[in-house]
Amino acid sequence: MADKSRRPLTGIREVARLAGVSQGTVSHVINHPERVAPETRQLVETVIERLGFVPNRGAADLRRGHSRMIGLILPDITNPFFAEVARGAVAAAAERGYVAVLCTSDFDATKEENSLELLEEQRVAGVLVIPAGQVPQRLARLRARDIGVVLVDRAAKSDEYCSVSVNDVAGGEIATTHLLESWPTQHIALVNGPSSIRQCSDRRRGCRKAIRAAGLPPEALTEVVMPAMTVAEGVQAGQAIIDSGRLPDAAFCTNDLLAIGVLRAFAAAGITVPGQVRVVGYDDLDRGHDLPIPLTSIRQPNYQLGHRGSELVIAEIETPDHHHERLVFDPELVKRATSTPSLAARWQSPR
């Protein structure tokens, strides 16, 4: 508890000196304890303990030629979806003794590139990236440097990268099928975001597939496309549906925010859910649980995405002859009152 002489209570060298052994031996007790005589080891460990010595990972990494950091680039850590991915990624990394360096792109391709550069400078062992838009060009350079790369929430096109993603076509299909099967349905509204977002077009594809499978004609589906996927847009979409004069039996909203907006518009117009129209969303946000009527939704294995993603990069890094893998998860339906008349009863306002 003294003043510790001000100098970086440094290194392996000091430990060696105090223990009366060589640096090499100290290094061994740290990295290959078994190669050292029990008593020497014991001695060294005691000194390490007494000095409060903590090895300098950076120096070790430099010497070894590779680090134990993995970079994580995502658009917005505040988004529950990405946060969950991050949680899985950080957990898996920690399990394997890696630390995660977090970068945020704010959906900005430039920031994304900058982050990639920073991570390259740090010589991270690998990166997990949830691209904000296009798959960043710069990833190629990282790969050239033998930095592991895995795309998250986006299937790799070619076999250039590993990727973990979830099957949005299946999600759209599941949602629609549920609507179709749980109650007689002739007319479905699809409330969607811009087709330029892959998720949106994939989910639409699944939706159409289900309709076809049910033997319904394409006209059974009416699509409302909104420029953004917020509650406000949802309200507008809901209003548009109402104004169209032809109320659908059910509405599949491509995300929960849109669904919440639609629900709001319906409530304001006195349209009952699920009585007149059944609704399902996508993402299974917590926000959807406490609505006047809890929202049926599609849940994605977000934590798994991140977790398996980390495992994949690490495998890619540690395995000499690595084959790129493309993992695709399936989403899952979570039934709630908004699509299920029987569940809805208890939610109707009392009295």
Residues that bind a copy of itself (CB under 8 A): 4, 8-9, 52, 54-59, 61-62, 65, 67, 69, 72, 76-78, 80, 83-84, 86-87, 90-91, 94, 99-104, 117-123, 141, 144-146, 231, 260, 264, 267-270, 286-287, 289-292, 349-351
- Comparing CB distances to DNA, the nearer of 55 and 292 is 55
| Maximum pairwise Cα distance, the chain | 89
* Tokens 């589906």 -> residue: 221
* Segment contacting DNA by CB under 7 A, of 56-64, 82-90, 254-262, 334-342: 56-64
- Comparing CB distances to a copy of itself, the nearer of 124 and 211 is 124
Task: Decide the pairing of beta strands 332-334 and 297-299.
Answer: antiparallel
What's the rounded Cα separation, in Å, for the pair 174 and 324? Answer: 29
182 binding partner (options a copy of itself, DNA, none; Cβ < 5 to 8 Å by kind): none
- Is 322 a binding residue for DNA by CB under 7 A? The answer is no
Residue 170, C-beta contacts closer than 8 angstroms, at least 6 positions apart = 206, 330, 331
- Is 67 a binding residue for DNA by CB under 7 A? The answer is no
31 binding partner (options a copy of itself, DNA, none; Cβ < 5 to 8 Å by kind): DNA
- Comparing CB distances to DNA, the nearer of 17 and 324 is 17
145 binding partner (options DNA, a copy of itself, none; Cβ < 5 to 8 Å by kind): a copy of itself
What's the rounded Cα separation, in Å, for the pair 88 and 81? Answer: 11
* Segment contacting DNA by CB under 7 A, of 3-11, 72-80, 191-199, 313-321: 3-11
* Segment contacting DNA by CB under 7 A, of 28-36, 130-138, 169-177, 181-189: 28-36
Two structure tokens written together for 12: 């392996």
In the DSSP assignment, the letter for residue 102 is E
Q: Cis (ω within 30 of 0) for the bond into 55?
A: no
Two structure tokens written together for 68: 């134990």
- Is 50 a binding residue for DNA by CB under 7 A? The answer is no
24 binding partner (options a copy of itself, DNA, none; Cβ < 5 to 8 Å by kind): DNA
In the DSSP assignment, the letter for residue 345 is G
Two structure tokens written together for 262: 């639609």
Residue 288: how many CB atoms within 10 A of its CB?
Answer: 23
